[in-house]
Amino acid sequence: MVNYAGAFDDPTKGGNLANMQYDAGAKVVYHSAGNTGSGVIKEAKERTEKGDTVWAIGVDRDQYEDGKYGKRWKISYPYICVKTCRCCYI
DSSP H or E run through 58: strand 55-59
DSSP secondary structure letters along 59-88:
ESS--TGGGEEEEETTEEEESEEEEE----
**pLDDT tens per residue across span 6-64:** 999 999 999 999 999 999 999 999 888 888 988 998 898 889 888 888 888 877 666 66
pLDDT score, position 73:
46
Enumerate residues 6+ apart whose C-beta is below 8 A from 24.
1
pLDDT of amino acid 33: 84
pTM above 0.85, yes or no: no
